Amino acid sequence: MKRLIVIGAMSFLFLAGCEKSVEPAVQGVPDQTDGRITVINDEAKLAGRVTIRDEDLTISSGLPKAAAPLAFSLKLNSEITPPTVGGQKLQATSVVLNANFAYVSYNVQGSSAIGAIDVVQVKGVKNAVIRASVQFADTDVNTVFFDNNMVYLAEASGNPAYDSPSFVEALVSNGGKLQLSGNAKRMLSSYAATSVVASNGKVYATTGNTGGLYVLTQNSTLDVESFTSLEDARWVDLDANYVVVAQGTPGRLSVFNRSTMALLNTYSVPGATIAESKSTVRIIGGKGLFAAGDAGVQLVNLATGSIVGSLPRVTVSGLDPSVTVTNAVDAAGAYVYISNGEAGIYVAQASQALENLSGNTTVTLTTLGKLQFTSLQSANHVAFDGKQIAVAAGLGGVKLVDMTE
């Protein structure tokens, strides 16, 4: 399953459509360890991994020469170098923006299972500050999510003492600081947990290959409320009405009623045909914004399954198409940010604000161009909240970008 992280990583995502919680920064929380997990709350130990950039970003031309100038500007605020654990440099796999903070997950290339997370304050401060970092000696962290003072992790471990390599873990967060007391862990089926999101007392997690969708109670033991077997379940998102799971090989969106968890429909969607790859989904305006791997971006009406908008996969001269798949996508208003692996991050504009409930009305997506970073390894994930873009750039760490219209 490690290939899933390398070419497509395991988002938000960020999930900007879910409830947001604000954590005021606190000081004086000690570092902690239990041998397996090491929590670093001492900001002085973490400050060296942050580089302040404050640089204007250009966007490569994706528009006709006669087109009007872009209606926004982008500034690279700062970059975060991945942590090194056990002598191995990790790679950023996912990032979620929530209120004042960015939460980042990491794992390591190869067969080893080593991971980490960062809690980064990105708003309410002049420059980005890593408030806390957690290192895992035996566990890949594939995705991360924050809700109600808990940080939730979708993980995979190579520890033979565990009943299953796949599990969800939760750490207590206090103003950006993390602690071991109150840590919860729930073993799941299959080889890796691929995504996790939490809201209103429930935790939703997907596991790939032979797994599916779990609904857990948001408590100290993460009790299993239900399980639905879903082949190659890659990502889960939710809004007030739906819970949607993105599946691969072939591409599908399984749509559940959030209140009853009854399966409403499973829609076939082009793409997501590459095994052990990443494909995120973002619910926005009653539509599923699907990172469809080899089929680029697909915008699906969740009520009917109709595809109302799309963008093809990026092709780049000199790069094998297998490393330029669309693995993550996020949007706010009319702007869409797309993670295309080694091809980097692209921005597109929709013909209307995507939050609008538009039914089967066609939405035109136009590529504006590519964000030009001086160095960017595989773009594994992207999060966008309307004001800020956060990129999980593999071995290139994290790029934090401010957007001004």
Cα 256 from Cα 260, distance rounded (Å): 8
Does 14 have pLDDT greater than 50? Answer: no
Global pTM reads: 0.92
- For residue 308, the cross-strand partners are none
Token pair recorded at residue 295? 């089929």
**pLDDT by residue (tens digit) across 160-177?**
889 899 999 999 998 899
Neighbouring-strand partners of residue 170: 152, 184
Helix (H, G, I), strand (E, B) or coil at 310: strand
How far, CA to CA in Å, does 8 sit from each of 240, 256, 281, 391? Answer: 28, 25, 13, 13
Which pLDDT does position 331 carry in this prediction? 98
Residue length, the chain? 405
Q: Which residues contact 349 (CB under 8 A, 6 or more apart)?
A: 334, 335, 336, 365, 366, 368
Residue with tokens 């030009």: 372
- What is the sign, positive or negative, of the torsion defined by CA atoms of 351, 352, 354, 356? negative
CA distances from 113 to 39, 76, 86, 109, 206 (A): 18, 31, 11, 9, 19
pLDDT > 90: what percent of the chain?
Answer: 80
pLDDT digits (tens, 9 = 90+) for 250-273: 999 999 999 999 999 999 999 999
Distance CA(109)–CA(89), nearest Å, equals: 9
Instruction: Extract the tokens encoding 220.
Output: 């100290």
pLDDT score for 9: 35
Q: Is the pLDDT of residue 4 over 50?
A: no
What average pLDDT does the structure give for the chain?
A: 91
- Measured in degrees and rounded to the nearest 5, phi and psi for residue 5 equal -80, -35
pLDDT band for 62, please (50, 70, 90 cuts).
low
Burial 100-136 (b: 16+ CB within 10 A, else e): bbbbbbbbbbeeebbbbbbbbbbeeeeebbbbbbbbb
Least confident of 10-14, 83-87, 226-230, 340-344: 10-14
pLDDT in tens, 207-224: 998 999 999 999 999 999
pLDDT band at 372 (very low <50, low <70, confident <90, very high): confident
Task: Band the pLDDT of 187: cuts 50, 70, 90.
Answer: very high
Per-residue pLDDT averaged across 73-102, rounded?
96
* Segment 27-48 mean pLDDT: 93
Tell me: the pLDDT tens digits for 117-158?
999 999 998 889 999 999 999 999 999 999 999 999 999 998
Residue 318, sorted as left (phi over 0), alpha (psi -120 to 50) or beta, turns out to be: left
Q: How far apart are CA 279 and CA 248, in angstroms?
A: 8
Question: What class has domain 3-404?
Answer: mainly beta
> Which tokens sit at 244?
């949607």
pLDDT category of residue 23 using cuts at 50, 70 and 90: low
pLDDT at 1: 41
